[in-house]
Amino acid sequence: MADAPVVHIIDDDASIRTALDSLFRSTGLATGLYDSVAAFMQAPPSPDAPGCLVLDVRLPGMSGLDFQERLAELGVRLPAVLMTGHGDIPMSVRGMKAGAVDFLTKPFRDQDMLDAVAAALARDRERRAGETKIDALNAQFATLSPRERQVMALVAAGKMNKQVAGDLALSEITVKIHRGAAMRKMGARTLADLVRMAEALNLRPE
Amino acid sequence: MARAIAGWAVLENRPLLTGVETVLIRRLQRWESIPRYQRLAMLWAFGAIALGLVTWACFALGLNFSTASFAFLIVIIALSLLDSFVSSVVFSVIAVGCLNYFFVAPLFTLGVEQGQDLLALAAFVAASFVITSLIRRVRELGDIHREQARLINLTQAAYLAEAQKLSLGGSFGWNATTGEIFWSDESYRIFGYDPGVKPSLALIAQRVHPGDGDKFRPIVERGAVANGAVDFEFRLLMPDGAVKQVHLVARPLSGAPGQFVGALMDITARQQADQELRESEYRYRNIFRAMAASFWELDFKDAGSMLRELRAAGVKDYAAHFAAHPGTVREMMRATHVIDVNDQTVALFGRGDKAELLRSLDAFWPEASNHIYAASVIAAVTGKPSYAAECKLRTIDGREFDALFTACFAPETVAEGKLLIGVIDVSERVRAQEMLRRVQTEFAHAARVSMLGELTASIAHEVNQPLAAIATNASAGLRWLDRAEPNMEEVRALTTRIAADARRAGDIIARVRNMAARRAPERAQLSLNGVIDEATTFLLHELQAQDVTLTLTLAPDLPPVAADRTQLQQVVVNLAVNAVQAMAHGGARARKLSIRSARDGDMLIVVIEDNGPGIAADHLDRLFESFFTTKDNGMGMGLPICRSIIETHGGRIEARNRDEGGAAFIFTLPPAT
């Protein structure tokens, strides 16, 4: 089931690994177990597959923190829950800055772990949902002609039709036609819709 | 005759001569000392005058032939006594001529008228010849006799002179009346004068030690007056400053008043030897009495006969026999009697009464020390000069204490069946050693605890892992149970894992507790590799946390070592932790720790190497000093304790830098025997 999220557990301690496995499965989550970062890198999950990471900050070969930064470089954007046997403040700060969802000290309460994983999965889902919307906008934007894109950008920047016509050396009538076409192609019912879309696409006048 | 008389001078111990003899010999000596031709001339002149005088006297007195012949005969006898046969014959012929010329008719001619006269002349000649021949024979016999006596005397004198030299004794004679003194060669030597000088009381006085002058003089005076025998010792002060001790014995010569004979003996060497012997004896007694050690003189005769009986019964290996028959050892102890002890012994073993210690030895010898007594007996029997061992001994009150027991088997005293033994109370030392051992143990413990402190983070993490797993497993189990359809399979698996994790946590805690335990070290036969394995298990987490790669190269088939497990682990852990900490400061290169075990000659060797920054040159010599540390929060006790542990186990430890960078710590241990 491609949509079912997977909790990827990376810990060199087999006891911890299997314990977490059983805990997550008891709540109906699917799990992936890895005893090292290397093992995880060898068979990384598909970027499309939803899920999150649960890993110890101290792992043989590469620390969990370093690993997290490395993943970001590689474009794997699974949210992570970090565990530590002896968490300290600098390490927690670094973890949170690198985008960790939570930082749990062993031994943790099961509910805390489940909450953290739920939050991570929610963040993953949100990110994925957001990414889906922008993808659609991009696809619609791709159907616009270059002139329509120029007009859309200037309109979204708040210019009047007359100003746009002056900027682009066009007649006001032509601007109105391009604007109408762009709104239709983008599926924008109002000017406000179009402005939001331009913002989401990070569109700026040239 | 001259030689014969000269020989007399050699005689040194002949009896002193009487006055008459002395005068006669003086005359003869004077006569013999005149050259022969002069003597002959004088003799012939004297003979001619004598014959002339007799002829004139007889003729003037008108004596007849017979009377004159007698007179001539007397003269010839007297002359023949003085010289040789030839001279006597010549004088006889002259005498016959004179008789014939002056007293036989016809007078004043050499002719003879009557046959009777011719017969008388012939008788005279014959008589004078016979007399001179007889005298000659007698003189020859006398010469031979004297020559023999001289030879005998020469030999005796030579023996005597040698013997006197050997005995350092000389003889002397003293005529108190005339002041004449006679010395033998040895006497000259004793007084230190050349044999040429004439002995005198003044010469003696020069040599007599000023301190003994007063002692010497009255005896000389008393000897001269009272004629008593003297026997005394006095000292001579020689010109070179040396002092001689001389023993003088003298007594009056019987039948010769005022004359003494005596003997002198140089007893300096004997005196010194006596003095040394006395001093030695004095020292020995002093040592025996006053030394701080306890001394015993033992009578071993009865025990010695027991030993001989054993040998007669065919016992060859005493050690085995004593081991098999402890009763025999005890019996021998009972047969060993204390003859004498010193004050220290009374203080150490007794209650102030020396007499109660003079009993058989077994009272002072606990059963546990039997083997020491047996070993000392064997040492004595096998000709060892001495024996020493530490053992427990017992006082008269029954209190036992640690003693150093020494026995001396001097051949002279052993032959007498006597033994001298010494005992030193070493209980203080044993106690101090015990204290030192305890302090060392305490320090080792403190160092272990301190080391555990440095590993706290690592240990906490290690304990945390199973605890976290247990907690998670337990809550997962509850969740499986709370489901609408409880998954018992899952719960069973989880419960099994909880038990395993709990055991694991327990093991870790036990390991830590062992390290932290304060207990006396206990030697056991251990596998060195096993100890290294356990130590590295202890460190695995720390090594992992510090990103250190550990390589173990353990030689198989190493013999076991006799060691305390915890202390040996402590050494390995301590050295490894040091290496890890050094590498943590050593920059970015991959950290490698290597632990090797191997055989190195008679010893086992362990090498712990890292590739950290190594040891600063000026630290190398001080690493094992107490309180020397390069760590910010170090106590400087770890390495000194490691060294004391290794050295207590009979090994050595050293540190050096590796050529390829990093430090190496090497320790050795002897294999268990």
Residues B551, B556, B558, B560: is their CA dihedral positive or negative? positive
Specify whether A120 is located in the same domain as A152: no
Q: Which of B466, B476, B544 sits opposite A22 (nearest CB)?
A: B476
* CB-based contacts of A146, cutoff 8 Å, min separation 6: none
Specify whether B306 is located in the same domain as B267: no
Distance (Å, rounded) from C-alpha B325 to C-alpha B69? 116
Tell me how far apart the terminal alpha carbons of chain A are, to the nearest angstrom: 44
Residues of A engaging B, defined by a Cβ cutoff of 8 Å: 13, 15-16, 18-20, 22-23, 25-27, 58, 60, 83, 85-86, 106-111, 113
Specify whether A147 is located in the same domain as A170: yes
Which runs of consecutive H residues, i.e. helices, occur in B245-294?
Answer: 268-290
Residue B561 confidence (pLDDT): 93
Mean pLDDT across A25-54: 85
Confidence of residue A88 (pLDDT cuts 50, 70, 90): low
Is it the case that residue A131 has pLDDT exceeding 60?
yes
Specify whether A148 is located in the same domain as A126: no
* CB-based contacts of B493, cutoff 8 Å, min separation 6: A22
Strands A80-84 and A51-56: parallel
Specify whether B629 is located in the same domain as B526: yes
Is the distance from CB of B65 to CB of B104 less than 8 angstroms?
yes
Distance (Å, rounded) from C-alpha B67 to C-alpha B76? 14
Residue B343 confidence (pLDDT): 87
Residue B502 confidence (pLDDT): 94
- The total number of structural domains that make up chain B: 4
Query: Residue A199 corresponds to which tokens in the numbers above?
Result: 């913002």
In a domain, A150, yes or no: yes
In a domain, A1, yes or no: no
Residue B147 confidence (pLDDT): 86
In a domain, B284, yes or no: no
In a domain, A14, yes or no: yes
- Provide the β-strand partners of residue B561: B526
Range of the domain at A17: 6-131
In a domain, B277, yes or no: no
Specify whether B151 is located in the same domain as B194: no
- Residue B534 Cα distances to B252, B526, B606, angstroms: 104, 12, 15
Mean pLDDT across A12-41: 89
Specify whether B175 is located in the same domain as B40: no
Instruction: Using the 3D structure, point to which of A80, A107, A131 is the last residue of a domain.
Output: A131
> How many CB contacts within 8 angstroms connect chain A with chain B?
82
Specify whether A20 is located in the same domain as A70: yes
Closest C-alpha among A164, A155, A170, A166 to residue A204: A155
CATH number at residue B348: 3.30.450.20
Q: Is the ipTM of this complex over 0.85?
A: no
Residue B52 confidence (pLDDT): 86
Specify whether A47 is located in the same domain as A101: yes
Low-confidence ranges of chain B (pLDDT < 50): 1-17
In a domain, B163, yes or no: no
Closest C-alpha among A22, A27, A20, A23 to residue A4: A27
Specify whether A16 is located in the same domain as A69: yes
Closest C-alpha among A75, A52, A51, A71 to residue A63: A71
In a domain, A77, yes or no: yes
Specify whether A99 is located in the same domain as A168: no
Residue B204 confidence (pLDDT): 84
Calculate what percentage of chain A has a pLDDT beyond 90.
23
Residues A184, A188, A189, A190: is their CA dihedral positive or negative? negative
Specify whether B342 is located in the same domain as B258: no
- Provide the β-strand partners of residue B263: B171, B249
Distance (Å, rounded) from C-alpha B187 to C-alpha B165? 9
Please write the tens of the pLDDT for every residue from B318-337: 888 888 888 888 998 899 99
Q: Which of A107, A111, A113 sits opposite B464 (nearest CB)?
A: A107
Instruction: Using the 3D structure, point to which of B134, B158, B182 is the last residue of a domain.
Output: B158
Specify whether B533 is located in the same domain as B650: yes
Query: Residue B251 corresponds to which tokens in the numbers above?
Result: 């007594």
Return the amino acid letter for B1: M
Return the amino acid letter for B656: R
Is the pLDDT higher at A36 or at B4?
A36
Q: Does A15 contact B461 at a Cβ distance shorter than 8 Å?
A: no
Instruction: Using the 3D structure, point to which of A131, A166, A187 is the last residue of a domain.
Output: A131
Which chain A residues are within 8 Å of B466, Cβ to Cβ? Answer: 15
Specify whether A66 is located in the same domain as A166: no
Q: Does A15 contact B475 at a Cβ distance shorter than 8 Å?
A: no
CATH number at residue A48: 3.40.50.2300
Longest dimension (CA), chain B: 207
Query: What is the rounded radius of gyration, in angstroms, for the C-alpha atoms of chain B?
Result: 56
Query: Residue B483 corresponds to which tokens in the numbers above?
Result: 């489901």
Is the distance from CB of B52 to CB of B91 less than 8 angstroms?
no
Interface test with B, best of A15, A35, A114 (most B CBs within 10 A): A15
Q: Which long-range contacts (CB under 8 A, 24 or more apart) does B11-18 make?
A: B11/B153, B11/B157, B12/B157, B12/B160, B12/B161, B12/B171, B12/B182, B12/B184, B12/B185, B13/B157, B13/B160, B13/B171, B13/B184, B14/B153, B15/B253, B16/B173, B16/B175, B16/B182, B16/B253, B16/B256, B16/B259, B16/B261, B18/B256
Give the sheet arrangement for strand B230-237, strand by strand: B180-183, B169-175, B259-266, B243-252, B230-237
CATH number at residue A179: 1.10.10.10
Specify whether B384 is located in the same domain as B408: yes
Residues of B engaging A, defined by a Cβ cutoff of 8 Å: 457, 460-461, 464-473, 475-477, 479-480, 483, 487, 490, 493-494, 497, 500-501, 504, 544-545
Specify whether B174 is located in the same domain as B234: yes
Q: Does A110 contact B468 at a Cβ distance shorter than 8 Å?
A: no
Closest C-alpha among B61, B131, B145 to residue B103: B61
Specify whether A27 is located in the same domain as A111: yes
Range of the domain at B379: 291-425
Instruction: Using the 3D structure, point to which of A99, A131, A163 is the last residue of a domain.
Output: A131
Specify whether B194 is located in the same domain as B131: no
Return the amino acid letter for B176: A
In a domain, A181, yes or no: yes
Minimal C-alpha gap between B448 and chain A (Å): 23
Specify whether A67 is located in the same domain as A164: no
- The 10 Å Cβ neighbour count of residue A105 is 16
Longest dimension (CA), chain A: 74
Specify whether B330 is located in the same domain as B250: no
Is the distance from CB of B182 to CB of B10 less than 8 angstroms?
no
Specify whether A149 is located in the same domain as A78: no
Q: Does A22 contact B460 at a Cβ distance shorter than 8 Å?
A: no
Instruction: Using the 3D structure, point to which of B158, B191, B207 is the last residue of a domain.
Output: B158
In a domain, A149, yes or no: yes
In a domain, B351, yes or no: yes
In a domain, B39, yes or no: yes
Specify whether A45 is located in the same domain as A123: yes
In a domain, A49, yes or no: yes
Instruction: Using the 3D structure, point to which of B244, B272, B300 is the last residue of a domain.
Output: B272
Specify whether B327 is located in the same domain as B224: no
- The total number of structural domains that make up chain A: 2
Specify whether B153 is located in the same domain as B135: yes
Minimal C-alpha gap between B593 and chain A (Å): 16
